[in-house]
């Protein structure tokens, strides 16, 4: 499926109104990713690109205007990050004259709140609260201090265009965080100057539609509010997911029993502990632990991985990024299922509820240390120890003759 935009102008007695419709059309490659990231960043156009196909190794960051604001995300309650956080913020505010956004709960940490030497810097910060304040059009780029979870959290803050993300490896695994903090001043300066490679990490656009189950009104099509208006019996929630959508059996001792549809056709019923629907970025997270293959972030695909399936032949599969997946509880299910999005917003799924998953047109532009290919294989080797073994010893010609029958 692809997404094309239709703009319609309707004239009325007051003033013309413009309506924008997004229409999904059949495609194997999925929607074309947005290539403007936040208020000022975009992808540098490659004049050598053939038929508008961008070589992943040549994707580079550029700025329409010099960046002036930066969001600094720090792992909460990690004492080891306090000093790097302070150093970075002082560097950004005093040397680079940047406007720094910080989440309010970060500054509520006693180690920061009670630090008198940091008071002058804190006064220059702009603070926000998750789920309350919209910073989508205020931040030019993002710096993450911590592990892979900080990048996932940064993604969750932006439901549409995401500013470029620079992630420093200060956590436990660091598969998605290629930068070392030792040389942060040089590396941050290069990003501000627009000298950086980027990889577009695709996200999943997830729509959860749930039946309202108020007591005594389960059969009603609509609910009557106190003001007399009618409220639909179904409610929908939208999420942007960087790693994976996980549907599992939750606390129940029974197998999960969910139906999986692809473009409206039932392709299988998942009977087991659950199913993982992941992006290529998420293929190296929960999915690989469940036996899936690892997919480079630039590959347009969605991976479907069963969790402990009660079938020897149920193997992980990769489907095109353009398809639409839907997960629903089977009629024969003995229990409800549970769903989570990048490990957050966990909720129960019952009969009549549905989870629709497509590739989003709003990727996460992740800034590379070198380039998308080298960074990925470096992470495979350093973090997951991919194909690590002792090399086979050399055999001389004399030994070969002895080995022959």
Nearest to 241 by CA among 274, 279, 294: 279
Distance of CA 235 to the CA centre of its chain: 24
CB 297 within 8 A of CB 199: yes
Sign of CA dihedral 370, 373, 377, 383: positive
CB 204 within 8 A of CB 31: no
| 78 classed as catalytic | no
Q: Rounded to 5 degrees, what are φ and ψ at 31?
A: -65, 145
Instruction: Return the half-sphere exposure (C-beta side, CA atoms, 13 A cut-off) of residue 88.
Output: 27
Q: How far is CA 211 from CA 142, 207, 357, in A?
A: 37, 13, 18
Q: Which residues contact 95 (CB under 8 A, 6 or more apart)?
A: 185
Token pair, residue 200, equals: 């577009």
373-380 long-range CB contacts below 8 Å, 24 or more apart? 373/56, 373/57, 373/296, 375/178, 375/199, 376/199, 376/296, 376/297, 378/178, 379/174, 379/175, 379/176, 379/178, 379/284, 380/284, 380/294
* Separation CA 239–CA 209 (nearest Å): 12
Q: Which residues contact 103 (CB under 8 A, 6 or more apart)?
A: 73, 127, 128, 129, 130
Q: Which residues contact 330 (CB under 8 A, 6 or more apart)?
A: 257, 258, 259, 269
Token pair, residue 318, equals: 């990769």
> Considering 116, 131, 133, 148, which one is annotated as catalytic?
148
* Separation CA 271–CA 137 (nearest Å): 43
Residues marked active site are found at 148
């Amino acid at each position: 499926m692809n997404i094309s935009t239709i703009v319609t102008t309707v004239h009325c007695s007051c003033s013309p109104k413009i309506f924008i419709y997004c229409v999904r059309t059949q495609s194997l490659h999925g929607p074309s990713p947005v290539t403007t990231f936040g208020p000022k960043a975009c992808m540098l156009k490659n004049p050598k690109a053939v038929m508008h196909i961008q070589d992943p190794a040549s994707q580079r960051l550029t700025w329409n205007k010099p960046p002036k604001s930066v969001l600094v995300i720090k792992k909460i309650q990690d004492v080891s990050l306090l000093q790097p956080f302070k150093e970075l913020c002082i560097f950004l505010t005093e040397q680079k004259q940047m406007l720094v956004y910080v989440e309010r709960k970060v500054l509520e940490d006693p180690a920061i709140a009670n630090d008198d030497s940091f008071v002058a810097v804190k006064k220059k910060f702009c603070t926000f609260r998750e789920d309350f304040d919209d910073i989508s059009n205020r931040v030019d780029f993002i710096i993450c201090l911590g592990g892979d979870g900080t990048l996932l959290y940064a993604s969750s803050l932006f439901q549409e265009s995401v500013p470029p993300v620079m992630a420093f490896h200060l956590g436990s695994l660091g598969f998605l965080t290629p930068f070392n903090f030792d040389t942060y001043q040089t590396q941050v300066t290069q990003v501000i100057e627009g000298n950086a490679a980027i990889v577009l990490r695709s996200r999943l656009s997830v729509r959860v539609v749930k039946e309202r189950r108020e007591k005594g009104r389960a059969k009603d099509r609509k609910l009557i509010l106190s003001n007399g208006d009618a409220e639909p019996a179904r409610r929908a929630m939208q999420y942007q997911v960087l790693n994976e959508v996980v549907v599992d059996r939750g606390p129940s001792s029974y197998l999960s029993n969910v139906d999986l549809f692809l473009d409206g056709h039932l392709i299988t019923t998942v009977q087991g502990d659950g199913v993982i629907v992941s992006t290529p970025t998420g293929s190296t997270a929960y999915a690989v632990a469940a036996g899936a293959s690892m997919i480079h972030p630039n590959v347009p695909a969605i991976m479907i991985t069963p969790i402990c399936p009660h079938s020897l032949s149920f193997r992980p599969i990769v489907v095109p990024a353009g398809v639409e997946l839907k997960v629903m509880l089977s009629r024969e299910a003995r229990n409800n299922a549970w769903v989570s999005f990048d490990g957050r917003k966990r909720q129960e799924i019952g009969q009549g509820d549905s989870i629709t998953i497509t590739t989003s047109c709003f990727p996460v532009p992740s800034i590379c240390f070198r380039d998308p290919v080298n960074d990925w294989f470096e992470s495979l080797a350093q973090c997951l120890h991919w194909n690590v073994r002792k090399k086979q010893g050399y055999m001389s010609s004399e030994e070969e003759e002895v080995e022959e029958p």
